[in-house]
A and B are shown apart, each in its own frame.
Chain A
Amino acid sequence: MLKIEIWNIVFTIINLLVLFVAFRLVLFKPVQRIIAKRQEEADEEYEEAKQAKAEAMDLKAQYEESLENAKDESKKTIQEARKTADQEYQRIVGSAEEAAKQLKEDAEKQAESRKEQILKKAEKEIADMVVDAAGKMAGSKSGAEFDRALYDEFLNKAGDEA
């Protein structure tokens, strides 16, 4: 129990040192190496994931931008198309109105001239009739008889004409 001598103390010290070295070789080193390796891998994966995320964010921003651009573009195109269509519409309606007005004016003019023609013709015919009737009256009858005859003649002719 209390026997103190140097040899067994030395043995114990050697034993402890051997145990320490052996533990380092077969226990601490291998386990620490494997844990460090795993940590390294985890770090790498984390770094990769971070990078991938950054790239994805970049792409997303790009897509969003191009989408925005496309929206603007389509809006502009639609606006232009609408403007062009409007102009075309205005032009077509304008020219149609113009044509209709022209047509109406022409028709009115024609109708006017035709009316005048008819009137002139009627006047001329009436005058002829009058002259004709007067000539006939003057050649065959006289006095009141002539007046009556003239009147009847005129009425007959006018009735025929009408």
Chain B
Amino acid sequence: MSVGEYLLKELECETVFTIPIFGGIEVSEATVVTWIIMAVLILFAFIMTRGLKVHNISKRQAAVELAVTKLTGLCENMLGEEGKRYAPYLTTVLIYIGVANLIGIFGMKAPTKDIRVTIALALMSIVLVQVVGIVHKGVGKWALKTISPINLLDLVTRPLSLCMRLFGNVLGAFVIMELLKKVCPIILPGVLSMYFDLFDGLLQAYVFVFLTSIYIKEAIE
């Protein structure tokens, strides 16, 4: 099997199973991995938040409090005072994309390597931005602002860029790592994996959330 064939096979999003309705709904690997991620994250969060106390907190509680405050604070900072209420959603997206990008380390296929997942994420972001615009400004003002050609174009380019940036970065990092492993299987991949698998994965999660928060901020003002 040549390198090209191997890469193509690795990049292929296999259908795990088919739901036999509407002429067969194919459930992709990315969706299944997302379910696994969700299950792990929710279970983890559930276990971590058992028996929270006001005083004499355990190390576990201190850790979960710190994590939640820092992550939510990060999103709140980006959103500004008025957009604070959307921070939990953005934090969820941040955690999800971050974990999804890193799941490759555990031998699973990263869901963000499937363009359908990044399309879904970008769609949700742009819908959220429009909803925020309507909620904060009223339908009339929002429509007036959105009707201009540039803003109409934004409606297309923004989700497209969000979706393609995330997808492209994850894909690119994956291809480079695979090629590196073929060319020089020792030491070098380990070092560069730090950047491409860990740092880039988290950075892309941050970038995605950062851009979405900028759009939301813009919609509020």
Contacts and interface: CB of A to CB of B under 8 A. Distances in A.
Interface string A16-34: 1011101110111011111
Contacts of A5: 26, 116
B88 A23 contact: yes
Contact of A12 (B30, B68, B91): B30
Interface residues of B, number: 47
B207 interface: no
Q: Per DSSP, are chain A's interface residues mostly helix, strand or loop, or mixed?
A: helix
B27 A28 contact: no
Nearest to B116: A8
A16 B120 contact: yes
B49 A16 contact: no
A13 B116 contact: no
Given A8-B116, A9-B116, A11-B34, 13 more contacts: A1-B114, A1-B171, A2-B115, A5-B116, A8-B26, A16-B92, A16-B124, A23-B45, A23-B95, A27-B45, A27-B49, A27-B68, A34-B54
Interface of A: 1-5, 7-13, 15-16, 18-20, 22-24, 26-28, 30-35, 37-38, 41
Interface of B: 11-13, 25-28, 30-31, 34-35, 38, 41-42, 45-46, 48-49, 52-55, 61, 64-65, 68-69, 72, 88-89, 91-93, 95-96, 111, 113-117, 119-121, 123-124, 171
